[in-house]
Structure 1
Amino acid sequence: MTDLSSTPTTETSRPPRERRRAMVSSWLGTTVEYYDFLLYGTAASLVFPELFFPGAAPLLGVLASFASLAVGYFARPLGAVVFGHFGDRLGRRKMLVVTLVMMGAASFLMGLLPTYHQIGMAAPVLLVTLRILQGFAVGGEWAGAALMSMEHARPKGRGFAASVVASGGPSGAVLATLVLTPFSMLPSEQFLSWGWRVPFILSALLVVIGLVLRLVVTESPEFRAAAQRRATSSAPASNAPAPIVAVLRHNPRGLVAGALGTVAPLFMQSILATFVLTYAVTVGGHERSDALWLITIANAVHIVTIPAFAALSDKVGRRPVMIAGAAAGIVLIWPMFALVANGSWGALLLAFLIGNPLVQAIMYGPLGAWIGEKFAADVRYTGVAVTYQLGSTLGAGLAPLAATGLLALGGGTNPIFVIALFAGLCVISGAAYLLSRESHDDELALVTGPEGRSDGEAAPAAAAAAQRAEVSIGRS
């Protein structure tokens, strides 16, 4: 019989101090990671076309720069498999330390790279190599941080706990923009010569801060309980399949549904951080610095709305909240682009507020818990990481490239094809939410297996009750 467990129902099994420490360290570490990752996205819009892909027509230079952005996303699924495997075998905490150091080192080295005019084709090759390293690290970051927070959380607070980590994305975006924008206001020659490099180099300091916070957090209690159960199992450890094999064998439905549900919210997040900035400048006639400040304001609001919608999903369920977000995306994507092209800074701010703090946050806030609740603890890191990064690659990785190409297809100013693409993605993600069972009240599985839970099935009450104590022992 497959072993199942629930998250404990007693407050004492999760000391409040430990819960807060897990959430804060995961949020701050993810903020640092996404500062590095999203800094690249901003630079890909404003700097890299001229410094690393010169000589091409402006649109082709932007396309080449966005292609290098996409390369990092394609490295994410590989990072998800590798870090997910060791995160399920060795622990969440160790992998989060590795991803943080790897991400920060790649970003720091980007700030030191010579340009195309200095070393020729070696410059974009080195840039893309570091970008791949970034993507590989991020492949394991989001899932591990979300699980550290979620697995320390109260049973009725899983959505909020996981979303605090998700809010590290816009937090990193705000930080990246606040650091980069003052340098972008330098005379163009100075900004392109050295100003853009400083935010990348500063990531070394941020890594040290994030590393200290991650080292003081204890390992996930549910991981420890699952590891203890494997250690005491009568089945030989050598016979246990690799986590990715177990996920594909026992819960392919959860993986596919989770990936499809991730596509729409991450597409929106990606194009707002890259493509829409360029569109606002070239079509809307906005100043580069104005667009950066306005999206920073919207991202600051986004930090709050992500956990707000996640907390709502803890009360009313994941499905109704996320389905509402997909429906809102279909309706609101049309006025959002009209507002960007309006030329008014107030209209542009409203467009940014519609995009991320509203449409994206409704779907994205509950997403971490919605995916995490699909997998047992012994394969949850792998399941969440691979699911999220597949959706991220399809949704966010190709978004700027696809949007730029579709804008060109529309004559360079008409975003109708971009709008249609996002509306279609909202239909796909909405269907994934609709067809998945509600999971916010489910007991969670501890160990997966042939008779285990699939796509959020609740644990049998007897097995759940029998193992609550075991998870609690893992917390001690």
Structure 2
Amino acid sequence: MSETQTHEQPLGTPAGPAPRAGRAAVAAAISTSLEWYDFFIYSTAAALVFNVTFFATGNEVVAAVNSFATVAVGFIARPIGGILAGHFGDKVGRKPVLVAAVVLMAVATSLIGFVPNTEIVWLAPMLLVTLRICQGLAVGAQWGGAVLLATENAPANRRGFFGSFAQLGVPIGVVLGNVVFLILTATVAQDSFLSWGWRIPFWISLIMLPVAFAIHRYLEETPEFKKIAAKLEEAPAARRSPIVEVLRKNPGTVLMAAGSNAIGVIFFYTMITGSVQYATTYLGLGRSTVLTFILIACLLQIPLVPLFGHLSDRIGRKLVFGAGTVAMMVWGVPMWLLIGTSGPDTVWPFAVAVIVGVVAMSLQTGTQGTLFSELFPPEVRFSGASLGYQISAIIGGFAPMVMVLLINGEAGNAWKVGVFLALSAAIGLLCLIAIVRRYSRPHESADAA
């Protein structure tokens, strides 16, 4: 079957039971929130701690690049996690893969909190990189499982809304991580924070283990996968590797999905992680001030994500997703010009920059899970959606490093970061246009097409 053919089966059921859809959506939101909390606290620690502890040098730029390089390692591992999870998620089920991903993330993140301060210069970086790879594998695996549990259990005419709950993990994870770091910076002295205080957020992640048990114990497998499993029982020899199948039949879809989504990841990490390092290092803003405004912006995103998911059920996934791409393209340069004019006595430009940025970004965040799921047939849906999403994560994972290099120690270079965002958004828009032109969706309702 070629990419230009219509190949997708309906996603969700015409009138899926609301209690089942609700349970799946809540489970997806909780699991992804904890997963992203773990993934994001590493980025925050890299911006605030690791550059002055494990990677300290006489050059601030080099220290920041080295610290953010370990952040990027997790993004490189995410597609591998997506590939592995896609293979097993399309073969053994959505739920067991999600449970395994949650357990792996809990163990890896808690162990980061035990990485020692040591005079053996290579030991701590090696341990951080290894555990960051495990984090990347886990978050790469969990996204597809959470999204498909939410969308495939949802009624067909509300899958955008229910699917958005898996995306709530992003802002909730940031909020949880920032709250923990804000409490620590307010209650722990600077020397103690750099010595042991930063470890506490990582140890908290052990709470994910009972969450994994609850998902395993109480959540059902999706109806879509049950149908696939039934077909496999009838003709098990006919099934090939899902990842091979999706790359053989749908390579363009995977690449266009990755290209269209990259700006959202770049925009997010440049704003949430990169701006923290820039504002605290070059503008003289306090850690608590910066983290508070990031927290407020992400709190705003929590209601916006399901709102835009619901809107996509009414006017179409691609339209809402595309509006987000255009908004980020338009706002990229003004956002970073505003950030660049901020200071200890002038914090409102930073606040306006990140709050408007979150609104623009939420248009994509609320729709991307369901949109990507709809691009692939059920038997390779986990593999295809995960691979497209996680490839874009590789690109986005290097965004803070690119930001540091573009600024190059000069606070006045912030506008260059805005140009970088605008160009990335333009590429994403071209990829989305290619998706819109290539595929038709005759099975979708008129207001979801």
Aligned partner letter, 1:159: G
Alignment equivalent of 2:18, drawn from 12, 16, 19 = 16
Report if the CA contact (8 A) 1:31-1:168 is conserved. yes
d(CA) in 1 for partners of 2:216, 2:313: 26
User: What do the CA deviations read for 1:311-362 (whole angstroms, capped 9, x no partner)?
Assistant: 1111111222222222211221122112222222222221111122x11111
Shift of 1:415: 1.7
d(CA) in 2 for partners of 1:285, 1:200: 27
Report if the CA contact (8 A) 1:271-1:400 is conserved. yes
Report if the CA contact (8 A) 1:322-1:430 is conserved. no
| Aligned: 1:363 with 2:368 | no
Shift of 1:126: 0.4
- Tell me the equivalent position of 1:276: 275
Written as runs of structure 1 = structure 2, the 5 A alignment for 1:20-419 is 20-117=22-119, 119-185=120-186, 186-233=188-235, 237-341=236-340, 342-343=342-343, 344-356=346-358, 358-394=359-395, 396-408=396-408, 411-419=410-418
Instruction: Give 3-state SS (helix, strand or coil) of 1:415's partner.
Output: helix
Aligned partner letter, 2:407: L
Report if the CA contact (8 A) 1:110-1:130 is conserved. yes
Deviates more, 1:323-332 or 1:60-69: 323-332
Report if the CA contact (8 A) 2:232-2:239 is conserved. no
Written as runs of structure 1 = structure 2, the 5 A alignment for 1:457-468 is 457-458=441-442
1:214–1:335: structure 2 CA closer, same or farther, 3 Å change rule?
farther
Report if the CA contact (8 A) 1:251-1:455 is conserved. no
Report if the CA contact (8 A) 2:9-2:378 is conserved. no
Shift of 1:374: 0.6
d(CA) in 1 for partners of 2:12, 2:357: 37
User: What do the CA deviations read for 1:192-225 (whole angstroms, capped 9, x no partner)?
Assistant: 1111111110110243235424531100110111
- Tell me the equivalent position of 1:472: none
d(CA) in 2 for partners of 1:4, 1:167: 26
Shift of 1:163: 1.3
Shift of 1:4: 6.4
d(CA) in 2 for partners of 1:259, 1:308: 24
1:97–1:199: structure 2 CA closer, same or farther, 3 Å change rule?
same
Report if the CA contact (8 A) 2:17-2:155 is conserved. no
Instruction: Give 3-state SS (helix, strand or coil) of 1:115's partner.
Output: coil
Report if the CA contact (8 A) 1:51-1:116 is conserved. no
Q: Could you tell me the TM-score, scaled by structure 1's length?
A: 0.88
Shift of 1:397: 0.9
1:380–1:4: structure 2 CA closer, same or farther, 3 Å change rule?
closer
Report if the CA contact (8 A) 2:8-2:374 is conserved. no
Shift of 1:16: 1.2
What CA RMSD, in Å, does the superposition of the two structures yield over aligned residues?
Answer: 2.0
d(CA) in 2 for partners of 1:374, 1:424: 25
d(CA) in 1 for partners of 2:349, 2:12: 47
Report if the CA contact (8 A) 1:80-1:140 is conserved. yes
Report if the CA contact (8 A) 2:335-2:357 is conserved. yes
d(CA) in 2 for partners of 1:297, 1:21: 28
1:347–1:402: structure 2 CA closer, same or farther, 3 Å change rule?
same
d(CA) in 2 for partners of 1:228, 1:456: 28
Report if the CA contact (8 A) 1:85-1:242 is conserved. yes
Report if the CA contact (8 A) 1:33-1:100 is conserved. yes
d(CA) in 2 for partners of 1:391, 1:161: 23
Aligned partner letter, 2:77: A
Instruction: Give 3-state SS (helix, strand or coil) of 2:412's partner.
Output: coil
d(CA) in 1 for partners of 2:88, 2:254: 19
Report if the CA contact (8 A) 2:149-2:221 is conserved. yes
Report if the CA contact (8 A) 2:283-2:411 is conserved. no
Written as runs of structure 1 = structure 2, the 5 A alignment for 1:428-467 is 428-437=427-436, 455=439, 457-458=441-442
Instruction: Give 3-state SS (helix, strand or coil) of 2:436's partner.
Output: coil
1:173–1:457: structure 2 CA closer, same or farther, 3 Å change rule?
same
d(CA) in 1 for partners of 2:397, 2:107: 21
Report if the CA contact (8 A) 2:112-2:202 is conserved. yes
Shift of 1:427: 0.6
**Percent identical residues:** 34
Q: Could you tell me the TM-score, scaled by structure 2's length?
A: 0.93
Instruction: Give 3-state SS (helix, strand or coil) of 2:413's partner.
Output: coil
d(CA) in 2 for partners of 1:215, 1:256: 36
1:78–1:301: structure 2 CA closer, same or farther, 3 Å change rule?
same
Report if the CA contact (8 A) 2:82-2:383 is conserved. yes
Report if the CA contact (8 A) 1:54-1:116 is conserved. no
Deviates more, 1:63-72 or 1:224-233: 224-233
The number of residues matched between the two structures is 437
Report if the CA contact (8 A) 2:12-2:224 is conserved. no
Report if the CA contact (8 A) 2:172-2:298 is conserved. yes
Note the residue ranges of structure 2 that are not aligned, 5 or more in a row: none
Report if the CA contact (8 A) 2:269-2:399 is conserved. yes
d(CA) in 2 for partners of 1:255, 1:456: 16
d(CA) in 2 for partners of 1:283, 1:320: 38
Deviates more, 1:2-11 or 1:245-254: 2-11
Aligned partner letter, 2:218: V
Instruction: Flag as ranges the 4+ runs of structure 1 deviating above 4 A.
Output: 1-4, 454-457
